Amino acid sequence: MATFLHRVAHWAFRRRRTVVLVWVAVLAAVFLGAVNSSEAPEDSASLPGIESQQAFDLLDERFPGTEADGAEARVVFVAADGQQVTSTANRSAVDTLVDEVADGPQVAGATSPFDAHAVSEDASTAYATITYRTTADDLTEASKEALTEAVERARDAGLTVEVGGSALETEPAQGIGEVLGILVAAVVLLITFGSLAAAGLPLLTAVLGVGISLATITALGSALGFSSTVGELAMMLGLAVGIDYSLFVVSRYREERAKGHQAQEAAALAVGTAGSAVVFAGLTVVIALLGLSVVGVPTLTKMGVGSAGTVLVGVLIALTAVPALLGFWPDAVLPRRDREGPRRTRGRRPGRFGRNRNSSGNSNGKGTTPAGTARTPWGVRWARFVTRRPVAVLLLTVVGLGALAVPSLNLRMGMPGAESKPTTTTERRAYDALADGFGPGFNGPLTVVIDVKGADDPAAAVTGVSDRLAGTGGIVSVSPPHFNAAKDTAVVSAVPSTGPASERTQDLVRTIRDERPAIESTTGAEYQVTGTTALNIDVGRKMQDALVPYLAVVVGLAFLLLMVVFRSILVPVKAALGFLLSVGAALGAIVTVFQEGHGAGFFGVEETGPIMSTMPVFLVGIVFGLAMDYQVFLVSRIREAHIHGEQPGQAVVTGFRHSAQVVGAAALIMMAVFGGFMTGGESMVKMVGFGLASAVFFDAFVVRMAFVPAVLALLGERAWWLPGRLDRLLLRVDIEGEALTRRALVPNNASGDDDRRESVTV
């Protein structure tokens, strides 16, 4: 692997104009494809295999011409203090609104609150239900404007009017996540490298990769069903991994130049060593993302495929475009004091990062820094501290992360609705008004679809089911049945006494379904429970059931890959255990803030509730891939030092000497990118950004910087043990660049003449 990538980088450095032109041509081609492509589809809520979806499908079949998930507007009227909505003036304003909206385009029906008994007991609140013949995404601006204008006229009459439902759902406020992430990344890179060029190159290549990926996703959106959400996730991951992968290659290039290598050979060595780590780190991310298909949710599968493609583009750019760009400006990425030195001395002055260092990067071959030289890097000091106290550090990290993970045992999954929106939105105000006037259950009614195709007396069968539902504890009311034209299917709405996100509502749905065999045997009718509330409950259960199989597939495949990379059994086991600690702590932090509300105000979370159903699986997939990034980059340098003859403890110190600062910078960049998405107004987006940022922090700065060196120090030589038979069976990959060691030990190698020609700035 290292030798092959070494040749690739040599070619890219020599043919740098061709490489850059090819990438620019690819960007132009996919951009043209995106411009001429059909509009991408909206996110689909279709979830095969759950009862709620089966009920939706039955509604589409038995009620032709209507959309089971058609748009709906629930217009809530609240009278002024001391007044009632049933007064003559207020009633006239409500009826006027309903009549105006009923004649509007795309409207299937408009029900007055006075005809549907939708008035609260104290007559202070009422609501009208407006249904549409199409989904919210297909509503025209004319339909929305007609409803909005009618609402404004009702407000002018003195009523407080708010609109819930999907028809006028407001878009969440856009944050500055991408901009903030890039700005923080630029600052971190500038501090790390001390060079504008070195900081700018990873940003440039990351933006190139994200541009190509987003354009490709847009171009293929119609054909493969990629929605805008796929692009958003791809952009978030593309920025993070694109910057990191280029960062590792550029950092290794500077290190090789500091040892005295000419520009072309330094670029080739950087790609041969750090590039090998990039390849396998990228593969672990791809495995984690493609593994989302195991969950069985089409939307997650598409998100995984699109993001995996983005990661692959980032890997290819790091292996080809980075050495090509280094060929144009070979000295620009070096520290300021070294930019002129290499040209004048050609190897006689290695630079401040490599004075008289041996091949493993130590100052004197023993891992110590002689008196009078530069200050010992913080990574070295920390590694020495950990290796001297491995037991204490290990216990502290395990206990600390374990304590943070404890709240995750109380994880409740669901899909936050209008209750999680800011109070500045009309949906949230409508939600609160309904809860105050009618009780919290009115915001999450259960839709029961009754199939009486096989019943002897369909009307009596529906009545029997409705009566049994009305007698179930926790049900406040059941609406009159609505039959289809064939009279073989009816729909009733059952209102719970508790809110849609309540655990008692989940128990109620379970009770209704558990009573189904008895009810069906006495009435002869079959029924299914659906609606938004039941759908969210079913999705949460599906995600929970899929979590363990998903973990098994992803961790199993990554374990095999890491065993091939590190030629060890215990190192992959350690990596998996460390990942479980970090993801457990991240889930605990999410539950603490977004479910239990501790510190919610600090993060701008206005309403707590269940954790988004897809969040745990999503977090596991993304964080596992990113965690293995740090695992490969850090441990590969430790193993490289060990292979080159250092003792296990000293190899840990050497590995930290070369990688701790870069891994830390990479983690800060990822945290900035993910944390930037918390600036948006949507609670779910805040949750994703917070979860990923906290998981990266726990994994990079606690697990990889403390747990990993402590375990390696305790294991010693045993960390690299692999049975002989298994060693012969496994594919051999030279990620540490053993084949390049001899070349690396001879700075002015045979390619030096070519290097001298290529190192001139053009």
Q: Which residues contact 593 (CB under 8 A, 6 or more apart)?
A: 599, 600, 603, 605, 690
* 611 alpha-carbon distance from chain centroid: 14
Q: Which residues contact 21 (CB under 8 A, 6 or more apart)?
A: none
> pLDDT at position 754, please?
42
Q: Residue 132 has what DSSP assignment?
A: E
Nearest alpha-carbon partner for 204 in 176, 249, 246 = 246
Q: Please, which residues bridge with residue 162 across strands?
A: 76
- Helical H segments across 128-227, by residue range: 141-156, 177-193, 196-219, 221-224
Which DSSP helix (H) or strand (E) runs through 483? strand 482-483
Nearest alpha-carbon partner for 693 in 679, 673, 718 = 673
> Per-residue pLDDT tens for 569-604?
898 888 888 888 998 999 999 999 888 888 877 777
Instruction: Give the CA distances from residue 623 to residues 554, 579, 585, 672, 694, in Å, rounded to whole numbers and listed in that order.
Output: 11, 8, 12, 15, 10
* 598 alpha-carbon distance from chain centroid: 23
Q: What single-letter amino acid sits at 346?
A: R
Three-class secondary structure of residue 716 per DSSP: helix
Q: Which residues contact 376 (CB under 8 A, 6 or more apart)?
A: 369
User: Which residue has 């890219």 as its token pair?
Assistant: 12
**Number of neighbouring beta carbons within 10 Å of residue 372:** 5
The radius of gyration of the chain's CA atoms, rounded to the nearest angstrom, is 31
Query: Exposed (0-12), middle (13-18) or buried (19+): which is 479, by Cβ within 10 Å?
Result: middle
563 and 572 in contact (C-beta within 8 Å)? Answer: yes
Q: How far apart are CA 50 and CA 535, in angstroms?
A: 8
> pLDDT at position 726, please?
81
Residues of the chain predicted below pLDDT 70 = 39-46, 65-69, 170-178, 181, 228, 336-374, 416-417, 420, 606-607, 679-684, 733-762
Q: How far apart are CA 269 and CA 139, in angstroms?
A: 57
Cα first-last separation, the chain:
30
Q: In the structure encoding, which two tokens stand for residue 682, read together?
A: 């949507």
Q: Please, which residues bridge with residue 529 across strands?
A: 448
Which DSSP helix (H) or strand (E) runs through 77? strand 72-78
